[in-house]
């Protein structure tokens, strides 16, 4: 059928408010259905961080939203509408493309230097309208990146909005809380003087940055400016006039439209922090600046509606209003709560999370003469559905690939379908581990908690169980702000009976859990595939309208990483060690491959482990050091940021079970523990076993007793360290046996041979009676010097552990489907009696080869060639992208990952993928290797150059005779330093940290 002339206004998370007097816009009478046969106009208003309870028509009482309430009164209000993600960038990706962001592995906010995250050849909602002869424009927040590679902010900013179907763009390039604090018009910085270019300075505050609008803590968090130049452009950007500016620009564009139908996408910065309403809105609500910002949003919507009325097209307008995700419990949200307002109503959870409060959002549709006024719909819909809906509105036929995950929900706006339009919906929270699937009444979350923010009230990034309890939400898994120790491993809720998710039914409906878990696994990020082009539409299939999943992959390989502590390059027999005997690791090398140029990313434990977990150089993620020491200590306020995506989390998206048994050392506060970073199971210690009252410098450090944990529960204090290797191995064996019928990732970071050395009794055979007697006489103290004598025995027990794990794999029928890698976290300590780096110079803590080149063996029968060493440069950072490839998972695309896929290198099909490898000592960039050459710098200046092919021991400095090589490597160092400055991410910190105790 031909749709009657109308304007379709889609107000997504934007808030419609009347003029400053509080009066709503006056609606025109509805026209007859047989009016002008011209195509409908469409206006889409997409608000930011607007929660389910932030509107009067959705129950708010401490603020007023007359314009939006009038939209609901004259249209239809949806009560089961969802954003594609609980996070801004992936939500916008889903809206524009009709594709779940999980398909592209987009999870977090796009960083400052992000390229355009939407393929310019992919069909978007703007393309749908443009292909039907519409004028198209986007105003407001973009936050999907620019360019094809790292965005250096050089103009033109292409590809960008103009390459995704928009004729015109004016708005904020990222978000109102992050730089650059300028407007972009089309593909250029607005009002920029050509003699004063915008220059990105990197992610460090500097006095060179251009001044921006002064704000106070009351307004909420805002990132400092990281740009210099463009003074005139910066001056035009005022936080307190953002809303009014975007309203003025978008309404002026409407006035300028003539005969062609138009599509307007207005993506407001309201109500994202910082909360900066214009002066006339300040103090107008009963819930602080948060409510005042909502009032301004409501006014913006009123301005749009008044403009449509003035132009004579309001009676032909379909208005849709929704939000990009749920409300955030930041300081503004907390103050609003204190004053009696609940941003997400009674729903559980917050922005970034998998609970309903993170993604169930307001959604209002108004179209006089087509949508019955004052009605409510319970249909399950999503913002990804706009693509198919707009195609139906403009009578276009799209191919299945073009439609992606979108469903035509126009019937739910205009009538009452007899059956659900959607069978399945997938929602992406911030953490891949918490990918959520909805099927009818059931919603399933594949992990504990909500997978979003976890900060306590009082901090900006507040959320999770602690804040759920704080606001009075009830959930059967939560007690006193924490997940219960006996809570189920995942979550199942019946939303028809329990929309506020008070009761986890995981244990009560195992068959439903199985079905939902299998359904969720089908949506794991797929391997890259061809992007459907904008043209060549094809008939769509019936199945496309029901949100069906991709086919499940076949059984994936298992991965085992055995990671010892302080073991040197020469501390294996197969690497030339005469002071040790390692027959099982030697056998593993004979059946697999020795990697003789395999590196860790730091010469000490915390940063080395951070790199393995994230695939990133430690300095890139703020983990090059502890808070005030080279590594993290007990009760440290710092830890691996939960926003990082770990190797365990990547593999969980592909249906893997994940277990870790051993030493963690990436933060001992609850927010940082392994079970919060993607591991289903954990048994071990939070840091090195010498961080304990027996430390030689205990008078200085005052370390608390050492805790032994199972998952997040302290099960022992001061465990007998003689049995650590044995107990860790037993847990690893049990994990393999329990998960032999499903793919798994097993991480075994042994605390040994870090000093003091410990060995269980069966491996003490051959130790002299004097040493045995001395150790028995320790009486609660530790004799480090005597324990140095049992190094051979400690390595023998590690070798036994490796053999036991390999035997278990074989006995379980997994030998030929398991990738096993053995390596160490850094080189040997300097004053060790026996541990050594073999032919390498240096030791733990140094950036000579002995500190970071590790004895490494890899084995996968039938896949990795056996018996021949591989001297190509590879690193622990490469494990994340390599395992992801082999598992059919995808790595995050919203951040820089330094690791490379080394599978072609391992099987001999390619050389190293690394053009250069960089060595950090703490936060200092100290060396670079490229090919056979390695350059050391001192205070940034070239100091030593070595030919590692002919001088592995770094004995002969050849810097004087190779100036061109020195220059080339110096350029690598400078480029890398610039990249780190431009593309780094912070570690996380907690307030009032406490040591673990039972």
Lowest pLDDT segment from 307-311, 610-614, 847-851: 307-311
Domain coverage including residue 73? 7-418
- Do strands 713-717 and 707-710 pair parallel, antiparallel, or not at all (unpaired)? antiparallel
In the predicted model, is pLDDT for residue 539 greater than 70?
no
More confident residue, 732 or 16: 732
Q: What are the strands, taking DSSP E only, across 839-968?
A: 856-859, 874-875, 917-921, 924-930, 933-938, 941-947
CA pseudo-torsion sign 58, 63, 66, 68? negative
Q: Are 313 and 7 in contact, with CB atoms under 8 Å apart?
A: yes
Gap between the Cα atoms of 659 and 648, Å rounded: 9
CA pseudo-torsion sign 7, 12, 14, 17? positive
Does a structural domain hold residue 377?
Answer: yes
In the predicted model, is pLDDT for residue 537 greater than 50?
no
Does a structural domain hold residue 978?
Answer: no
Most confident of 22-26, 504-508, 978-982: 504-508
In the predicted model, is pLDDT for residue 32 greater than 60?
no
First to last CA, the chain: 69
In the predicted model, is pLDDT for residue 848 greater than 90?
yes
In the predicted model, is pLDDT for residue 485 greater than 50?
yes
Percentage of the residues of the chain whose pLDDT score is greater than 90: 83
pLDDT of the residue at 527 = 42
Q: Which of 363, 388, 418 is the last residue of a domain?
A: 418
Does a structural domain hold residue 849?
Answer: yes
**Spatial CA neighbour of 430 closest among 94, 87, 82, 49:** 87
pLDDT of the residue at 206 = 79
Does a structural domain hold residue 538?
Answer: no
Q: Which of 418, 436, 465 is the last residue of a domain?
A: 418
In the predicted model, is pLDDT for residue 553 greater than 70?
no
- Calculate mean pLDDT across residues 110-115: 91
Q: Are 209 and 224 in contact, with CB atoms under 8 Å apart?
A: yes
pLDDT of the residue at 790 = 95
The catalytically annotated residue of 234, 272, 341, 665 is 665
Q: What global pTM score does this model have?
A: 0.72
Q: How many helices (H) and strands (E) does the chain have?
A: 24, 38
**Cβ neighbours of residue 776 closer than 8 Å, sequence gap 6 or more:** none
**Mean pLDDT over the full length of the chain:** 91
pLDDT of the residue at 6 = 41
- Calculate mean pLDDT across residues 165-169: 98
Rounded to whole angstroms, what are the CA distances from 644 to 47, 362, 556, 616?
Answer: 26, 30, 24, 10
In the predicted model, is pLDDT for residue 728 greater than 60?
yes
Q: Which two tokens stand for residue 950?
A: 């002919």
Q: Which of 418, 443, 466 is the last residue of a domain?
A: 418
Alpha carbon 104 to chain centroid, angstroms: 13
Alpha carbon 641 to chain centroid, angstroms: 10
- Calculate mean pLDDT across residues 59-64: 97
Does a structural domain hold residue 537?
Answer: no
Q: Which residue matches tokens 């936080």?
A: 239
pLDDT of the residue at 525 = 57
In the predicted model, is pLDDT for residue 759 greater than 90?
yes
Q: Are 365 and 413 in contact, with CB atoms under 8 Å apart?
A: yes
In the residue annotation, 57 being an active-site residue is answered as: no
Rounded to whole angstroms, what are the CA distances from 446 to 359, 520, 796?
Answer: 16, 8, 39
Alpha carbon 420 to chain centroid, angstroms: 32
- Calculate mean pLDDT across residues 672-686: 95
Task: Count how many domains the chain has.
Answer: 2
Residues linked to residue 420 through DSSP beta bridges, in sequence order: none
Domain CATH number, residue 328:
3.40.720.10
pLDDT of the residue at 542 = 34
pLDDT of the residue at 37 = 55
Q: Are 825 and 608 in contact, with CB atoms under 8 Å apart?
A: yes
Does a structural domain hold residue 955?
Answer: no
- Calculate mean pLDDT across residues 964-986: 94
The catalytically annotated residue of 82, 605, 689, 731 is 605
Residue-wise pLDDT tens digits, 607-617: 999 999 999 99
- Calculate mean pLDDT across residues 593-618: 98
CA pseudo-torsion sign 869, 873, 877, 882? negative
pLDDT of the residue at 375 = 97
Q: Are 332 and 216 in contact, with CB atoms under 8 Å apart?
A: no
Does a structural domain hold residue 718?
Answer: yes
Phi-psi region of 667 (alpha: psi -120 to 50; beta: other; left: phi over 0): left
More confident residue, 51 or 260: 51
Gap between the Cα atoms of 576 and 578, Å rounded: 6
pLDDT of the residue at 899 = 97
Q: pLDDT category, 831, cuts 50, 70, 90? A: confident
Q: pLDDT category, 19, cuts 50, 70, 90? A: very low
Q: Which two tokens stand for residue 438?
A: 């909805």
Residue-wise pLDDT tens digits, 691-714: 988 888 888 888 999 999 999 999
Half-sphere exposure of 377 (CA within 13 A, CB side): 30
Residues linked to residue 768 through DSSP beta bridges, in sequence order: none
**Three-state SS sequence of 564-615:** ECCCCCCCCHHHCCCCCCCHHHHHHHHHCEEECCEECCCCCHHHHHHHHHHC
Lowest pLDDT segment from 155-159, 452-456, 605-609, 790-794: 452-456
Q: What are the strands, taking DSSP E only, across 860-983?
A: 874-875, 917-921, 924-930, 933-938, 941-947
- Calculate mean pLDDT across residues 79-89: 97
DSSP-derived secondary structure letter, 388:
H
- Total length of the chain: 998
Does a structural domain hold residue 453?
Answer: no
Q: Packing angle between helix 242-256 and helix 288-311, nearest 10 degrees?
A: 10
Gap between the Cα atoms of 602 and 605, Å rounded: 7
- Calculate mean pLDDT across residues 712-738: 96
pLDDT of the residue at 16 = 32
pLDDT of the residue at 315 = 86
In the residue annotation, 143 being an active-site residue is answered as: no
- Calculate mean pLDDT across residues 558-578: 97
pLDDT of the residue at 541 = 33
Rounded to whole angstroms, what are the CA distances from 932 to 596, 904, 935?
Answer: 13, 20, 10
Q: Which residue matches tokens 């878990």?
A: 517
Gap between the Cα atoms of 220 and 177, Å rounded: 9
In the predicted model, is pLDDT for residue 533 greater than 90?
no
Residue-wise pLDDT tens digits, 906-931: 999 999 999 999 999 999 999 999 99
Residue-wise pLDDT tens digits, 809-826: 999 999 999 999 999 999
């Amino acid at each position: 059928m031909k749709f009657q002339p109308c304007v379709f206004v889609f107000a997504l998370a934007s808030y419609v408010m009347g003029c400053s007097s509080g009066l709503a816009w006056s609606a025109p009478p509805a026209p007859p259905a047989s009016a002008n046969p011209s195509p409908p106009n469409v206006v889409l208003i997409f608000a930011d961080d607007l929660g389910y309870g932030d509107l009067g028509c959705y129950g708010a009482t401490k603020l007023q939203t007359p314009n939006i309430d009038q939209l609901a009164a004259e249209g239809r209000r949806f009560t089961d509408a969802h954003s594609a993600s609980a996070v801004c960038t992936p939500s916008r990706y889903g809206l524009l493309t009709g594709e779940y962001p999980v398909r592209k592995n987009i999870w977090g906010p796009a960083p400052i230097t992000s390229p355009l995250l939407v393929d310019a050849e992919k069909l978007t909602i703007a393309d749908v309208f443009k292909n039907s002869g519409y004028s198209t424009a986007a105003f407001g927040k973009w936050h999907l990146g620019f360019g094809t590679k790292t965005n250096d902010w050089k103009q033109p900013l292409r590809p960008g909005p103009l390459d995704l179907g928009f004729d015109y763009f004016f708005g904020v390039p990222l978000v109102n809380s992050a730089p650059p604090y300028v407007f972009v018009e089309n593909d250029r910085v607005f009002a920029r003087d050509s003699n004063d270019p915008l220059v990105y300075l990197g992610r460090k505050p500097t006095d060179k940055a251009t001044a921006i609008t002064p704000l106070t803590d009351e307004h909420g968090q805002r990132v400092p400016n990281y740009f210099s130049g463009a003074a005139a452009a910066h001056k035009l950007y005022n936080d307190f006039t953002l809303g009014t500016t975007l309203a003025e620009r978008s309404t002026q564009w409407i006035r300028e439209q003539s005969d062609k139908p138009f599509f307007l996408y207005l993506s407001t910065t309201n109500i994202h922090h910082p909360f900066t309403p214009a002066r006339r809105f300040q103090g107008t609500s009963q819930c602080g600046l948060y409510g005042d910002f909502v009032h301004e949003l409501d006014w913006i919507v009123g301005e749009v509606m008044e403009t449509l009325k003035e132009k004579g097209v309001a009676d032909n307008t379909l208005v849709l209003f929704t939000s990009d995700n749920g409300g955030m419990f930041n300081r503004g949200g907390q103050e609003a709560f204190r004053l009696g307002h609940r941003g997400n109503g009674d729903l559980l959870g917050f922005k970034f999370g998998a609970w309903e409060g993170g993604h169930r959002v307001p959604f209002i549709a108004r179209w006089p003469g087509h949508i019955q006024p004052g009605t409510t719909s319970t249909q399950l819909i999503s913002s990804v559905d706009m693509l198919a809906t707009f195609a139906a509105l403009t009578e276009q036929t799209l191919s299945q690939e073009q439609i992606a995950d979108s469903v035509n929900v126009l019937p739910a706006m205009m009538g009452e379908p007899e059956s659900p339009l959607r069978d399945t919906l997938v929602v992406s929270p911030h953490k891949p581990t918490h990918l959520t699937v909805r099927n009818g009444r059931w919603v399933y979350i594949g992990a504990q908690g909500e997978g979003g923010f976890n900060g306590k009230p009082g901090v900006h990034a507040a959320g999770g169980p602690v804040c759920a309890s704080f606001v009075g939400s009830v959930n059967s898994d939560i007690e006193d702000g924490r997940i219960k120790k006996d809570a189920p491993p995942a979550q199942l809720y019946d939303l028809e009976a329990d929309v506020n998710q008070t009761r986890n039914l995981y244990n009560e409906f195992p068959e439903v859990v199985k079905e939902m878990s299998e359904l969720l696994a089908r949506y794991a990020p797929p391997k890259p595939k061809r992007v459907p082009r904008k043209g060549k539409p094809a008939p769509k299939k019936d199945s496309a309208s029901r949100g069906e999943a991709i086919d499940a992959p076949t059984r994936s390989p298992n991965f085992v990483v055995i990671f010892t502590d302080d073991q040197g390059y020469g501390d294996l027999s197969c690497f030339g060690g005469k002071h040790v005997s390692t027959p099982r690791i030697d056998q593993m090398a004979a059946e697999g491959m020795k990697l003789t140029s395999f590196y860790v990313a730091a010469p000490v434990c915390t940063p080395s482990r951070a790199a393995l977990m994230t695939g990133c150089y430690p300095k890139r993620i703020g983990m090059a050091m502890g808070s005030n020491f080279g590594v993290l200590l007990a009760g440290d306020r710092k830890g691996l940021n939960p926003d990082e995506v770990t190797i365990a989390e990547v593999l969980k998206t592909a249906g893997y079970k994940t277990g870790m048994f051993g030493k963690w050392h990436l933060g001992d506060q609850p927010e940082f523990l392994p079970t919060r970073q993607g591991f289903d199971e954990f048994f071990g210690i939070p840091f090195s076993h010498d961080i304990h009252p027996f430390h030689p410098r205990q008078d200085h450090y005052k370390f608390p007793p050492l805790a032994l944990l199972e998952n997040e529960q302290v099960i022992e204090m001061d465990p007998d360290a003689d049995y650590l290797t044995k107990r860790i191995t037993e847990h690893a064996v049990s994990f393999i046996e329990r998960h032999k019928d499903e793919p798994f990732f097993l991480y075994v970071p042994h605390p040994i041979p870090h000093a003091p050395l410990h060995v269980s009794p069966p491996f003490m055979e051959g130790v002299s009676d004097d040493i045995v007697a001395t150790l028995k006489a320790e009486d609660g103290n530790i004799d480090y010097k005597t324990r140095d004598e049992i190094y051979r025995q400690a390595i023998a027990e590690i070798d036994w552990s490796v053999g036991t794990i390999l035997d278990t794999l074989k006995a379980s029928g997994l030998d030929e489907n398991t990738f096993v890698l053995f390596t160490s976290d850094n080189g040997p300590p300097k004053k060790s009696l026996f541990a050594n780096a073999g032919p390498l110079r240096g030791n733990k803590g140094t950036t000579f080869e002995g500190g970071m080149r590790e004895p490494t063996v890899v084995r996968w029968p039938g896949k990795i060639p056996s018996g021949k060493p591989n001297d190509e440069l590879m690193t622990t950072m490469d494990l994340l992208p390599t395992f992801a490839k082999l598992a059919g998972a995808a790595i995050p695309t919203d951040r820089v990952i330094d690791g490379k896929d080394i599978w072609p290198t391992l099987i001999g099909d390619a050389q190293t993928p690394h053009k250069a490898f960089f060595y950090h000592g703490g936060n200092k960039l100290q060396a670079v290797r490229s090919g056979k050459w390695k350059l050391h710098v001192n205070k940034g200046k070239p100091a030593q150059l070595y030919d590692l092919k002919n001088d592995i021991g770094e004995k002969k400095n050849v810097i004087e005779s190779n100036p061109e090589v020195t220059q080339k490597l110096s350029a690598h160092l400078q480029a890398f330093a610039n990249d780190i400055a431009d593309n780094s991410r912070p570690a996380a910190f907690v307030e009032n940290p406490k040591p673990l105790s039972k």
